[in-house]
Amino acid sequence: SHPPHPSCSTFCLSLSFPPPPPPPLFESILHKPVQRGGTSKQSAVSYPAWRTSSTTEAGVVLTLLYRLRTVIKQATMMRVSPIARRAMGRIANSRKMMMSEGGTERLDVVDRLHYVQRVRAMTPPQAVESMLAMYSSALDSIVTSPSLMAIPIDDHGFHRGHAVFDTCNVLDGKAYALDMHIDRLLSSAEMAKIELKSVSKTSLKEILLATLAVAGKENNVFCRYWLTAGRGDFHVSPKGCVGGNGFYAVVHKTWERDDETPIKEVVVSTPLKPQLLANMKSNNYMINALTAMEAQEGGGNLGIQVDNDGYLQEASISCVGIVEDDDVLRTPPFETILPSTTVRRVLAFGQQLVEKGLLKGILQTPVKMEQVYSAKEAFLLGGHHVVPVGQVGERTIGNGQRGPVCKALQELQHNDMRNPEMTDAIPFSQYHSNQH
């Protein structure tokens, strides 16, 4: 007597009576005569019998159960009540029991239609909520449905890790430091021997700005992008790749940050990367992930790496800066770590603090861990954020609070993100007629 709630439309329509004409899959099941007491044989492929034949009552029931389970799962992804989740579980258990043949269940083999349905239903809610737009060179298009944001399995960036990547911050509808980041991407690609077959700096920049525009948000978004050796086979060398480079970019919402409260860090034992991999921003972030995991297990955040001689290297996704009693800001050189765009900008605009007398100098120089422990201030420099570090292991840094240099750098970094020389306007109007 009343229209269904929009979030339940799929659920309500699928269970409405009388039912709409069944799609081809169900016509083949519902419109054939049922053989009482008969059994069907498995097809040549690995479909369960109930998916390819309707010659048993159980096949009909199972098919309807499967459809109901799919509908409920889709409704669940639209945040229908927990009752739907429990119902879906019961249907899955019933299907599993009824499909069992000698205690063994065959995996489904799905066609294109059911593949899309399942991918949509199984996309994690946080992905649906956060991922706004993705460009894929496999499509040469931008998609906005998170369930369609995927990488081809034959891409060497996936199965061999033969890829490099970089990022882009956004503030007030402007892409920040995009040229700097693309330059680093191309430098990393050269080190990774990824030949530029189908892309250029100009084309990459156009794609990234377009993808940001399609995402439609002027703030609180972040862009990540990957350049790969290409796709076409599963060999270790990209010699057989065809069709040019793979390039993928995704725009997602950012998470809330607290850059005022000092964090705790710990020194980790995870091995350092060899210099080649340390200097490029490659797709192989296993060491970075293990560094962060070890740090979190020890009560830290990103983790701090130190070489065999006791010299500070970097955190898992940030560099480290300190201010000592001589009021000089020191941060390690790039020889054995990633050339940080954040550090490069700090070295540039940080000179304003020298001019104001808050600092006496800024140096890229080797730093011993003993200097970190005795410093007045310490902070992480990464992602164009400056994050205060109040404790390393059991040692308090300075007074354990955010220091004046850290605070001043945060303000300068925020202002730099509005620097016309460092930003590019995102062309929203080309994709959203109602936006300026």
Q: Could you tell me the two tokens for 229?
A: 């050796």
Q: Could you tell me the two tokens for 189?
A: 């690609």
Assign residue 394 a region: left if phi > 0, alpha if psi is -120 to 50, beta otherwise?
Answer: alpha
Contact between 315 and 304 under an 8 Å Cβ cutoff? The reply is yes
Contact between 267 and 392 under an 8 Å Cβ cutoff? The reply is yes
Task: Report residue 290 CA to chain centroid gap.
Answer: 17
Q: What is the 3-state secondary structure (H, E, C) of 316-331?
A: CCCEEEEECCCCEEEE
Cα separation, 159 vs 284, in Å, equals 11
Q: Is 281 in the active site?
A: yes
| Residue among 334, 337, 344, 299 nearest 315 (CA) | 337
Angle between helices 178-191 and 201-215 (to 10 degrees): 130
**Catalytic residue (choose from 217, 281, 376, 407):** 281
Amino acid at 355: E
Q: What is the 3-state secondary structure (H, E, C) of 38-99?
A: CCCCCCCCCCCHHHHCCCCHHHHHHHHHHHHHHHHHHHHHCCCCHHHHHHHHHHHHHHHHHH
Block residue for tokens 């970019």: 249
**Any residues with CB less than 8 A from the CB of 345 and at least 6 apart, and which?**
177, 384, 413, 416, 422
- In this structure, the dihedral spanned by the alpha carbons of residues 420, 424, 430 and 435, taken in order and rounded to 10 degrees, is -50
Cα separation, 304 vs 134, in Å, equals 32
| Residue among 337, 391, 393, 400 nearest 367 (CA) | 337
- In this structure, the dihedral spanned by the alpha carbons of residues 122, 228, 335 and 317, taken in order and rounded to 10 degrees, is -10
Which residues are annotated as catalytic? 281
